[in-house]
């Protein structure tokens, strides 16, 4: 601690002595003199301590950043705000620091005592508020670092005896539902402690999915139980959990906060901009956080806003402003009316974690239905249609629907039990559009408001909360607008994820042996094979046409892409932004691109692989397009951009690069320049029509047709980009349509001759039919990507 001497010197209120509780002494901080009565750290006053308004006429004694006054790092009395009148913080001569509400009730104190003549209260430059004895060694009587609320500052330890508790919402600082703590096994964990249920959800040893990183490797042996964020941006915990921010390595202003949505984020202050950006995130998948959406609702992951909660069909919100309260059924409970007839609504890719009433291995769908009907509390069941682990299809009955989430690529479906007579909306296509939020501003009950003031105060409260409501609404609207038109810098706030990191140029140069092995080109760059120092084989893309943007903008964009995590999207491992260099590091795909595989004469992709590639690609795209914002359009779907891993699972590559490259300017909802590749481009590009996610659906349709017929959409035709006449859907589409018109055995006519007779006619027909719908000229007639997934998938299950 090189600066420890200056820390102790620089205190504006170095000494507060208080002899008499009743004296209106200027030696205590009072809530009325908010501006003057603060403690500021020095010499560069990074932190301020004082009374912070948390509601109308409600204050908390807190510490915040002087240049970011709404970022509280510590609160003395988060669950007991004090009145705006006659509330004080006073330091008693006995050494006790006491917060008094309305000159009547003690709501908080340090509960310290000393025999020393004097005590000092100091706010250090690191944000620590310290109560010191005036002894030779200045012994610390109490310090705020020992009692964290939801934030850890650099080098502030989180110990076994303390924990972080999230705030209730973005605007309500009282204790919320999430807790970061060391459990009795010495492991650092995140827990949801809801009003009715609680569960630990991190680390996630028991969950298995391709979407998960590795949450194990924790040690239970070290019982020192301490974790901290260091100055350079690493989180180090005694259970061997380590975590680095993407900007690791420089001393910057940082904080670690357990946010109200249950995620732990490390924030970095951008120099000069006085705004916080997320430089690290413990849980990249917000929907796996328990309790994030209340009972009978489900969570979906929306890249820019993080997550969205929606009610299950046949249910409605308890409180549309507070998603955590969940939804209630629009029908009588099953046990109240056992005469109600049931039906089961299939919800593909849904899962509800925990609270299984029973587990039945090797049960068919019908057997599972019968199990559920026998139990009046049964609200539905999870059924994995495929045989997993040799147990046959599995059935889990649920009596509570909690921790629901939907994620593209999740295998298995949930079957919700609804009354046969109930009308419901299909959730797959009717999500809540940007509605609700968990940060509604509500009035704070003040039980001891003086009588005379009653009416006006009530009005003020009402007015304030109405204003708050309007504000929230405006905020949401602006938010949606911003993201629809311009995935703005604000998305920064949600960027970054575990494992994703920054590489240095020299590191990548070495990994690729001086960029010697070229494996591909396109998407604004050249791709090289490389081997990292940990022996991981990677693909390194060097961008040629880099937009004229600074490193922090680049970082913002890249970390959004890096955050997209789906088994059918190519994973981005990191990036490099150094001087004029901009590079992206991706996972390496053993089997190259779909294009290479289709044109290869030595090996033929068999039917099962082709079918799986069609399904996987659709899943990847559905994820990109998911939900209300149509956030990422790929705009260049073609066989070259569909890569195949060692199991021939497809991964869509080259998405989300539009803002990194000069040539692709996003201009409101239309792109100013034609993008895409001849043969795969939707007609909208040529006719200058609005560009929506349906352009990807079109290109996808062409790719599927190419895959099943073995004919290239570009072979033998000259299409000039702007020549609409000759575009004419390309010959491939016209040809397939003609075959279909001609007769019943049309699938046999169009199938790739290289497959011989080794294909499934039903599957072939489904794919061809869906593909033809995808390439409809009128964009509104084309199905959405998630609809495509459903169609292909439902067939897979029947067969």
Ligand X SMILES: *[C@@H]1O[C@H](CO)[C@@H](O)[C@H](O)[C@H]1NC(C)=O
Q: Are 226 and 160 in contact (CB under 8 A)?
A: yes
* For ligand X, the closer CB: 390 or 550: 390
* For ligand X, the closer CB: 101 or 636: 101
Site string for ligand X, 116-155 (x = CB under 6 A): ----------------------------------------
Structure tokens of 742?
């001609």
Instruction: Tally Cβ neighbours within 10 Å of residue 710.
Output: 18
* For ligand X, the closer CB: 197 or 226: 226
Smallest distance from the beta carbon of 324 to ligand X, in angstroms?
A: 9
Among residues 636, 654, 696, 752, which one is catalytic? Answer: 636
Smallest distance from the beta carbon of 679 to ligand X, in angstroms?
A: 48
* For ligand X, the closer CB: 186 or 784: 186
Q: Is 238 in the site for ligand X (CB under 6 A)?
A: yes
Smallest distance from the beta carbon of 186 to ligand X, in angstroms?
A: 9
* For ligand X, the closer CB: 45 or 170: 170
Instruction: Tally Cβ neighbours within 10 Å of residue 74.
Output: 24
Which whole-number Å values give the CA distances from 478 to 305, 434, 474, 615, in the listed order? 12, 11, 6, 36
* For ligand X, the closer CB: 18 or 241: 241
Q: What does DSSP assign to residue 186?
A: S
User: Angle at the Cα of 243 (from 237 to 247), degrees rounded to 5?
Assistant: 135
Q: Is 471 in the site for ligand X (CB under 6 A)?
A: no
Smallest distance from the beta carbon of 363 to ligand X, in angstroms?
A: 9
Give burial (CB, 10 Å; 0-12/13-18/19+) of 760: middle
Structure tokens of 624?
């990109």
Smallest distance from the beta carbon of 457 to ligand X, in angstroms?
A: 15
241 vs 219: CA distance, rounded Å: 8
For 642-679, letters b (16+ CB in 10 Å) and e give bbbbeebbbbbbbbbbbbbbeebeeeeeebeeebbbbb
- In the region spanning residues 384 to 443, those forming contacts with ligand X, defined by CB under 6 A, are 390-392, 442
Query: Applying CB under 6 A, which part among 41-49, 186-194, 205-213, 216-224 lies near ligand X?
Result: 216-224
> Across-strand partners of 59?
53, 82
Residue 619 φ/ψ, nearest 5 degrees? -65, -45
Smallest distance from the beta carbon of 798 to ligand X, in angstroms?
A: 19
Residue among 224, 600, 670, 720 that touches ligand X (CB under 6 A): 224
Smallest distance from the beta carbon of 503 to ligand X, in angstroms?
A: 22
CA neighbor of 283 nearest in space, from 588, 494, 550: 494
Q: Which helix (H) or strand (E) holds 793?
A: helix 785-798
Smallest distance from the beta carbon of 547 to ligand X, in angstroms?
A: 40
Residue among 6, 94, 214, 219 that touches ligand X (CB under 6 A): 219
* For ligand X, the closer CB: 27 or 444: 444
- In the region spanning residues 702 to 731, those forming contacts with ligand X, defined by CB under 6 A, are none
Give burial (CB, 10 Å; 0-12/13-18/19+) of 486: middle
* For ligand X, the closer CB: 172 or 658: 172
Residue among 29, 37, 49, 55 that touches ligand X (CB under 6 A): 55
C-alpha Rg value of the chain to the nearest Å: 30
Q: Is 195 in the site for ligand X (CB under 6 A)?
A: no
Q: Is the dihedral angle over the CA atoms 147, 150, 153, 154 positive or is it negative?
A: positive
Q: Is 240 in the site for ligand X (CB under 6 A)?
A: yes
673 vs 664: CA distance, rounded Å: 7
Q: Is the dihedral angle over the CA atoms 443, 446, 450, 451 positive or is it negative?
A: positive
* For ligand X, the closer CB: 162 or 300: 162
Query: Applying CB under 6 A, which part among 27-35, 214-222, 541-549, 743-751 lies near ligand X?
Result: 214-222
CA neighbor of 346 nearest in space, from 799, 790, 766: 790
Q: What is the DSSP string of 656-690?
A: S-TTTBTT--EETTEESS--S-TTT--HHHHHTPP
Residue among 13, 40, 226, 476 that touches ligand X (CB under 6 A): 226
Active site residue 636: yes
Instruction: Tally Cβ neighbours within 10 Å of residue 628.
Output: 17
Q: What does DSSP assign to residue 435?
A: -
Smallest distance from the beta carbon of 362 to ligand X, in angstroms?
A: 4
> Across-strand partners of 329?
315
468 vs 442: CA distance, rounded Å: 8
* For ligand X, the closer CB: 55 or 280: 55
Q: How many residues bind ligand X (CB under 6 A)?
A: 21
Q: Strand 666-667 and strand 164-167: pairing?
A: unpaired
CA neighbor of 464 nearest in space, from 45, 55, 6: 55
Residue among 232, 444, 689, 772 that touches ligand X (CB under 6 A): 444
Query: Applying CB under 6 A, which part among 38-46, 221-229, 641-649, 740-748 lies near ligand X?
Result: 221-229
Smallest distance from the beta carbon of 710 to ligand X, in angstroms?
A: 39
Smallest distance from the beta carbon of 390 to ligand X, in angstroms?
A: 6
The residues near 501 (Cβ < 8 Å, ≥ 6 apart) are: 244, 246, 248, 573, 574
572 vs 288: CA distance, rounded Å: 21
* For ligand X, the closer CB: 118 or 155: 155
Smallest distance from the beta carbon of 240 to ligand X, in angstroms?
A: 4
Site string for ligand X, 5-44 (x = CB under 6 A): ----------------------------------------
Q: Which helix (H) or strand (E) holds 621?
A: helix 607-625
| 3-class secondary structure per residue, 344-386 | EEEEECEEECCCEEEEECCCCHHHHHHHHHCCCCCCEEEEECC
* For ligand X, the closer CB: 461 or 605: 461
Site string for ligand X, 326-365 (x = CB under 6 A): ------xx--x-------------------------x---
- In the region spanning residues 163 to 192, those forming contacts with ligand X, defined by CB under 6 A, are 168, 172, 174
Q: Which helix (H) or strand (E) holds 328?
A: strand 327-329
373 vs 153: CA distance, rounded Å: 53
Q: Is 255 in the site for ligand X (CB under 6 A)?
A: no
Q: SS3 of 638, please?
A: coil
Instruction: List residues near ligand X by CB under 6 A.
Output: 54-55, 168, 172, 174, 217, 219, 222, 224, 226, 238, 240, 332-333, 336, 362, 390-392, 442, 444
Q: Which residues are catalytic?
A: 636
């Amino acid at each position: 601690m090189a600066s420890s001497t200056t820390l102790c010197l620089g205190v504006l209120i170095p000494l507060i002595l208080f002899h008499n509780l009743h004296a209106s002494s200027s030696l205590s901080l009072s809530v009325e003199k908010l501006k003057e009565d603060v403690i500021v750290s020095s010499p560069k006053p990074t932190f301020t301590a004082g009374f912070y308004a948390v509601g109308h006429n409600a204050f908390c004694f807190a510490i915040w950043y002087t240049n970011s006054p709404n970022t509280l790092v510590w609160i003395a009395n988060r669950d007991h705000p004090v009145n705006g009148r006659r509330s004080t913080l006073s330091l008693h001569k006995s050494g006790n620091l006491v917060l008094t509400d309305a000159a009547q009730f003690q709501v908080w104190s340090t509960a310290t005592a000393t025999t020393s003549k004097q005590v000092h209260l100091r706010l250090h430059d690191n944000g620590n508020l310290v109560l010191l004895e005036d002894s030779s060694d200045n012994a610390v009587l109490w310090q705020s670092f020992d009692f964290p609320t939801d934030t850890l500052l650099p080098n502030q330890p989180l110990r076994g005896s303390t924990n972080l508790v999230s705030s209730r919402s973005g605007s309500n600082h009282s204790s919320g539902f999430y807790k970061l703590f060391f459990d009795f096994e010495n492991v650092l964990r995140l827990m949801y402690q809801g009003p009715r249920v609680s569960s630990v959800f991190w680390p996630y040893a028991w969950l298995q999915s391709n979407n998960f990183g590795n949450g194990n490797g924790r040690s239970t042996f070290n019982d020192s139980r301490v974790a901290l964020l260091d100055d350079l941006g690493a989180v180090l915990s005694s259970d061997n959990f380590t975590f680095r921010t993407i900007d690791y390595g420089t001393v910057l202003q940082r904080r670690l906060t357990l946010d109200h949505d249950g995620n732990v984020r490390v924030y970095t202050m951008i120099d000069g901009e006085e705004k916080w950006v997320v430089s690290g995130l413990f849980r990249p998948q917000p929907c796996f956080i328990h309790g994030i959406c209340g009972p009978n609702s489900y969570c979906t992951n929306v890249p820019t806003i993080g997550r969205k909660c929606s009610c299950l069909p046949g249910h409605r919100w308890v409180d549309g402003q507070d998603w955590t309260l969940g939804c209630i059924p629009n029908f009588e409970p099953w046990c109240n009316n056992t005469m109600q007839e049931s039906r089961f609504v299939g919800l593909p890719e849904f899962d509800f974690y925990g609270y299984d009433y029973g587990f039945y291995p090797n049960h068919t769908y019908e057997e599972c239905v019968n199990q559920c009907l026998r139990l009046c509390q049964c609200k539905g069941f999870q059924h994995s249609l495929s045989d997993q682990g040799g147990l046959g299809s599995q059935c889990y009955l649920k009596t509570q629907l909690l921790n629901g989430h939907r994620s593209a690529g999740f295998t298995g479906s949930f079957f919700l039990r609804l009354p046969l007579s109930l009308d419901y909306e299909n959730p797959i296509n009717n999500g809540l559009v940007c509605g609700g939020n968990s940060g509604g501003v509500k009035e704070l009950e003040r039980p001891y408001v003086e009588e005379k003031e009653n009416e006006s105060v009530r009005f003020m409260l009402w007015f304030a909360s109405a204003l708050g409501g309007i504000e929230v609404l405006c905020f949401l609207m602006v938010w949606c607008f911003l993201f629809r038109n311009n995935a703005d810098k604000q998305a920064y706030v949600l960027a970054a994820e575990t494992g994703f990191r920054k590489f240095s140029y020299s590191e990548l140069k070495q990994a690729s042996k001086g960029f010697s092995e070229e494996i591909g080109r396109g998407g604004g760059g050249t791709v090289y094979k490389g081997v990292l120092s940990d022996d991981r084989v990677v693909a390194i893309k060097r961008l040629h046409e880099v937009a004229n943007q600074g490193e922090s903008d680049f970082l913002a964009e890249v970390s959004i892409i890096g955050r997209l995590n789906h088994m059918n999207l190519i994973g981005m491992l990191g990036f490099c932004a150094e001087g004029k260099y901009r590079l992206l590091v991706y996972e390496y795909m053993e089997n190259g691109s779909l294009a290479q595989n289709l044109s290869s004469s030595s090996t033929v992709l068999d039917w099962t692989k082709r079918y799986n590639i069609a399904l996987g690609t659709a899943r990847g795209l559905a994820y990109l397009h998911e939900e209300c914002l149509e956030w990422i359009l790929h705009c260049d779907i073609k066989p070259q951009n569909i890569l195949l891993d060692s199991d021939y699972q497809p991964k869509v590559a080259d998405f989300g690069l539009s803002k990194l490259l000069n040539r692709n300017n996003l201009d409101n909802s239309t792109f100013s320049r034609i993008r895409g590749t001849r043969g795969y481009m939707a007609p909208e590009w040529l006719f200058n029509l609005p560009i929506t996610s349906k352009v990807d659906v079109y290109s996808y349709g062409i790719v599927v047709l190419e895959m099943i017929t073995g004919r290239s959409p570009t072979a033998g035709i000259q299409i000039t980009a702007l020549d609409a006449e000759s575009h004419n859907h390309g010959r491939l589409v016209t040809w397939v349509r003609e075959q279909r018109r001609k007769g019943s055995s049309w699938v046999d006519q169009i199938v790739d001759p290289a497959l011989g007779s080794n294909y499934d006619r039903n599957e072939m027909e489904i794919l061809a039919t869906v593909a033809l719908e995808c390439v409809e000229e009128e964009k509104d007639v084309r199905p959405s990507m998630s609809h495509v997934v459903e169609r292909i998938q439902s067939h897979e299950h029947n067969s």
